[in-house]
A and B are shown apart, each in its own frame.
Chain A
Amino acid sequence: MSEKLYNNLLFQSIFLMSFLILVGLLIPNWLVFVITKAIAYGLVGLGIITLMRGGLVSFGQGFVFGIGGYTAGLLGTQAGLTDAMLLLFVSFLFTGLVGLIIAPLLARYRDIFFAMLSLAFSMVLYGILIKIDAIGGSDGFVLPESTYFGIKPSSEYADYILYVVAIIMTGFISILLRYYYDSTPGLIALAVRENELRVEYLGSSAFNVAVLNFTIAAGLGGMGGALNGIALGHIDPEFTYWTTSGEFVFISILAGYLSVPAVFLAALLLELVRSFSGRYFPDTWQLILGLFLILSIIFIPSGIGSFFKQFFDRLKKSK
């Protein structure tokens, strides 16, 4: 019984979430903020690895990141909606819907054409956002302080509460994604990645797989954008800029598509590299990030997730 519980994904995830929530009480506030941002970026990266499992890479996830951020921001400033959980959820749904609308166009393309078309969407959105003065133009705008079930936490605990909410919501989304990856449609997505023609000749639609995965990726990207906006308390068109999209691709390459937790670890590494190099090597953090990426591709081409997979495979064999 205890072994069965130990192997249960839900149990493992709840244990990990509880651990991280407790750790949040012991670490400094700046690190809580960095981890929350890493979770936001990790959510977008999780969307990209969902696409990668089906053989696609998006260079324009800044598009959905921005839509999610602006959705949360505008709901806060224009509709007075400040509940962080509700904002995250609504941003997830709305951006997922936007994804579902544009996915049939994107899903007709593959490889670099898919990647560049997704990038084009993000650049168009960037161009529009910097021109709309009503929502702050290139400066963006400030989000109202978040509430939780109608309660506004004191500024001392605001970051930690958001961190807890981020961990819980992301934790459950990660569990659902893990179930999806292991389900029949999830496996068919892997087959599409390897041989699309054969999948069609087995009676499944590679197009539908791409639409589904892009919609999921859009929802996740939107939620990530909303979380990032809430954490920063500010949103601006940089959310949709191509360099931001590049960072999400960086996270996905570093993580690989084999493991869900690896994406968040990769996002955390990115945030830490950015924070430390920004502090100790100002204006050179892109150089450090680039070197970091080169070393990652050379030494761990399948990403950090391959270590996770090897570890768990060995664990299974030893049993």
Chain B
Amino acid sequence: MSKQSLLRAENVNKSFGAVVAANNININIDKGEKVSLIGSNGAGKTTFMNMVTGYLKPDTGHIYLKNEEITQLDPRIITQKGISRSFQIPQIFEPMTAWENLLIALGTSQKKHSYFKNARSKENGDFIDEILNRFALNEFAYRQVSELPGGVRKLLDIAMALVRKPDILLLDEPTSGVGAEEKYPLMDTIAKALSGQGLTVIFVEHDMDIVQNYSDRIIAFYQGAVIADGNGNTVLNDSNVKKYVTGKTEVKAN
């Protein structure tokens, strides 16, 4: 365990009937790391993410955030302790505007609430405008989110998770459902928005080019187990990763 250890999973196991979704997972993630989780569908990436965020409870094993056990805590408490997430299908409040979505995210992050003070205060508005600016969402601020394009919805979903200023941000397939030409601009916007905050980012991704370009560590899953863990070059050239994840014989690293 390193001094900077932020998230630690120890001997984590999870099964759904005969299907093993997590097989003795041991992962340590340090502060500031940008980690991508790769693996084919059903490999256990999302199960791991769901256990870290409290949606699923491991059958055995322990998960620690800043050396405090969070294994059995509810998603709400884990969020309050510093882990926020976005979703593969953006979980946003459809009939509201992007601005209102962020206002609610901001409201949930505030420790003290006044029941008689208008939430649409100038102070809150300035904060939201800054977030919108950071994610290049200004032009969509007052549009109902059900009308927004897929990439913008993804950005809004991530922006909402970021409002709380978490220690760890989990992104579940941030580029899924986005056109090929939009992927890099989307990831650039996300990377720019997250830069300079010392934030630890863990993201699930299927596009290996994205994985190589936007993470400094890759963890590969296969049948619920971690089969490789290290920098891009090491992991993507691992024989098991080539065989079970990428299906490639050679990968050119950055």
- Which one of B79, B104, B107, B120 has the greatest number of beta carbons of chain A within 10 Å? B104
Cβ–Cβ < 8 Å partners of A203 in chain B: 76, 79-80, 108-109, 164
Question: Whose C-beta in chain A lies nearest to the C-beta of B160?
Answer: A202
- B interface residue count range (under 10 / 10 to 19 / 20 to 34 / 35 or more): 20 to 34
- Contacting pair A184 B93 (CB below 8 A): no
Cα–Cα, bound, A286→B53 (Å): 51
- Which one of A176, A183, A202 has the greatest number of beta carbons of chain B within 10 Å? A202
Contact residues, B146-173 vs A (CB, 8 A): 160-161, 164
Cα–Cα, bound, A92→B119 (Å): 27
- Which one of A184, A185, A188 has the greatest number of beta carbons of chain B within 10 Å? A184
Contact residues, B80-122 vs A (CB, 8 A): 80, 84-85, 91-96, 100, 103-105, 107-110, 113-120
Cα–Cα, bound, A184→B112 (Å): 10
- Contacting pair A205 B117 (CB below 8 A): no
A299 contacts partner chain B, Cβ-Cβ < 8 Å:
no
- Contacting pair A205 B92 (CB below 8 A): no
A305 to chain B, nearest CB (A): 15
Cβ–Cβ < 8 Å partners of A197 in chain B: 91
A139 contacts partner chain B, Cβ-Cβ < 8 Å:
no
Cβ–Cβ < 8 Å partners of B85 in chain A: 201
Partner of A194, one of B93, B113, B118, B120: B93
Partner of B115, one of A180, A191, A195, A205: A180
Question: Whose C-beta in chain A lies nearest to the C-beta of B86?
Answer: A201
A182 and B120 contact, Cβ closer than 8 Å, known pairs A187-B100, A198-B93, A201-B91: yes
Cβ–Cβ < 8 Å partners of A200 in chain B: 74-76, 79
- Contacting pair A179 B80 (CB below 8 A): no
Cβ–Cβ < 8 Å partners of B92 in chain A: 195, 198
Question: Whose C-beta in chain A lies nearest to the C-beta of B107?
Answer: A184
Partner of B104, one of A179, A180, A188, A205: A188
Cα–Cα, bound, A208→B110 (Å): 15
A199 contacts partner chain B, Cβ-Cβ < 8 Å:
yes
Count A-B contacts at CB 8 Å: 89
- Contacting pair A202 B93 (CB below 8 A): no
Contact residues, A11-49 vs B (CB, 8 A): none
Partner of B113, one of A184, A190, A202, A205: A184
Chain A interfacial residues counted at CB < 8 A:
23
- Contacting pair B115 A185 (CB below 8 A): yes
Contact residues, A184-221 vs B (CB, 8 A): 184-188, 190-191, 194-195, 197-205
A191 to chain B, nearest CB (A): 5
Cα–Cα, bound, A203→B74 (Å): 10
Cβ–Cβ < 8 Å partners of A195 in chain B: 91-94
Contact residues, A261-279 vs B (CB, 8 A): none
Q: Mark B104-147, 1 if CB is under 8 A from A, else 0.
A: 11011110011111111000000000000000000000000000
- Contacting pair B115 A202 (CB below 8 A): no
Cβ–Cβ < 8 Å partners of B110 in chain A: 184
Cβ–Cβ < 8 Å partners of B119 in chain A: 182-184, 186-187
Cβ–Cβ < 8 Å partners of B75 in chain A: 200-201
Cβ–Cβ < 8 Å partners of A179 in chain B: 115-118
- Which one of A183, A185, A203 has the greatest number of beta carbons of chain B within 10 Å? A203
- Which one of B107, B108, B119, B161 has the greatest number of beta carbons of chain A within 10 Å? B108
Cα–Cα, bound, A182→B113 (Å): 12
Cα–Cα, bound, A295→B103 (Å): 36
A55 to chain B, nearest CB (A): 12
- Contacting pair A183 B104 (CB below 8 A): no
Partner of A201, one of B79, B114, B115: B79
Cβ–Cβ < 8 Å partners of B103 in chain A: 187
Cα–Cα, bound, A194→B91 (Å): 10
Cα–Cα, bound, A290→B108 (Å): 41
Cα–Cα, bound, A194→B160 (Å): 15
Cβ–Cβ < 8 Å partners of A194 in chain B: 93-96
Partner of A183, one of B95, B100, B115: B115
Cβ–Cβ < 8 Å partners of A185 in chain B: 107, 113, 115
Cβ–Cβ < 8 Å partners of B74 in chain A: 200
Cα–Cα, bound, A176→B160 (Å): 29
Cα–Cα, bound, A200→B94 (Å): 16
Cβ–Cβ < 8 Å partners of A180 in chain B: 115-116
Partner of A202, one of B114, B117, B164: B164
Contact residues, A149-179 vs B (CB, 8 A): 176, 179
A191 and B79 contact, Cβ closer than 8 Å, known pairs A179-B116, A183-B118: no
> 8 A-B Cβ contacts within 8 A?
A179-B116, A184-B110, A191-B104, A199-B108, A200-B76, A202-B108, A203-B80, A203-B109
Supply 7 further A-B pairs (C-beta < 8 A) apart from A191-B93, A199-B108.
A183-B119, A185-B113, A190-B93, A191-B96, A194-B93, A198-B91, A202-B105
